[in-house]
Amino acid sequence: MNSSGTIAVVDCIVVGGGPAGLTAAIYLARYHLSVVAFDDDTSRAATIPVSHNHAGFPDGISGIDLLARMRSQAQNYGATIARNKITGLRKRDGGFVATFDGGSIRARAVLLATGVANRRPAMQDASHNDAVARGLLRYCPICDGFEITDKRVGVIGTGSNAFREALFLRSYTSDLTLVSAEGAHALSDDESAQLSEHGIVVDPGPITSIELEEDQITITMPSRSLHFSSVYPALGSDIRSELAAAIGARLTSDGCVVVDSHQRATVPGLYAAGDVAIGLDQISHAMGQASVAATTIRNDLCELTMLIR
């Protein structure tokens, strides 16, 4: 959206054009509601080289391809997709005003589908993105653990999250090393004992560099290098829930938007779906939550004003 100034009120704005936001846009448009989906083009789905666990695509589908199909489907039914970042959200006259690049838009309901951002290991962006595209770096054991079956795999991180990720991956391969980026591990005695029991090597690091070769990724430490088929950073993620926080919606201790079983946030008229809400951080779950959210929005708006044609 390029024009500045406030535009006419729409039934719903969707913040986020990933699998959750686009699913909601498709549903909302097909409910004959006016919907604008804003997206600043940093979907985690866009980084998926090929997804093999998304049902309906037996040969897999790239994240870029999936998103393009969904955008086209949403637009076919009248949804507007705007390539703008929403920078502010406030309540007004029983609805909302969202601001972007100097302009603003009013909406009766808002769906947040803003996702999360994975924390990355220290690497240049180009090298990092190349590694993800080649499956040398992986961020989602649930999604692509199958692809590393019996391979030599590293996990970067420490503490309970990294411990759980290493243990999860142990069901795919016995050749696993948990490397701390920092030079020391923060694992409980019980976690250390379980890693040892399952044959997972624990290396204190610190990591000085991460290099890509033709078919492997090398983690270098001051006195040695380790070579892996794939490495999973398990460094946590940042939840993109600032807009929800700005209007007083309740968040979990991790920063996810708290929603009820119909995806309603704690602020009336605000909804959340996908990775920004608690869930499995999977495309299928993001889509499922978004379809519930869109239907709830339709029904809640219907209670406010009759939508019968």
Vertex 189: Cα angle to 188 and 190 (nearest 5): 90
Among 13, 28, 86, 294, binds ligand FAD (CB under 6 A): 86
Closest approach of Cβ 188 to ligand FAD, in Å? 28
Closer to ligand FAD by Cβ: residue 202 or 276: 276
Tokens for 289? Answer: 């939550």
Q: Scanning residues 158 to 197, which ones bind ligand FAD (CB under 6 A)?
A: none
Closest approach of Cβ 293 to ligand FAD, in Å? 11
Closer to ligand FAD by Cβ: residue 240 or 298: 240
Backbone angles phi, psi at 304, to 5 degrees: -75, -45
Report the alpha-carbon distance of residue 40 to residue 1 in Å, rounded.
12
Contact pattern for ligand FAD over residues 256 through 285, marking x by CB under 6 A: ------------------xx-----xxxx-
Question: In Å, what is the CA distance from 199 to each residue of 144, 153, 174, 203, 235?
Answer: 21, 13, 7, 13, 22
Amino acid at 13: I
Tokens for 247? Answer: 């209007």
Q: Which stretch binds ligand FAD (CB under 6 A): 50-58, 166-174, 193-201, 202-210?
A: 50-58
Rg of the chain over all Cα atoms, to the nearest angstrom: 21
Among 24, 26, 51, 221, binds ligand FAD (CB under 6 A): 51
DSSP 8-class letter at 264 = B
Residues in binding contact with ligand FAD, number by CB under 6 A:
39
Among 30, 85, 106, 151, binds ligand FAD (CB under 6 A): 85
Q: Which stretch binds ligand FAD (CB under 6 A): 110-118, 156-164, 192-200, 255-263?
A: 110-118
Report the alpha-carbon distance of residue 57 to residue 159 in Å, rounded.
36
Q: Terminal CA-to-CA distance of the chain, rounded, Å?
A: 29
Contacting residues toward ligand FAD, per CB under 6 A? 15-21, 38-45, 47-48, 51, 53-54, 85-86, 113-115, 118, 132, 139-140, 143-144, 240, 274-275, 281-284, 286
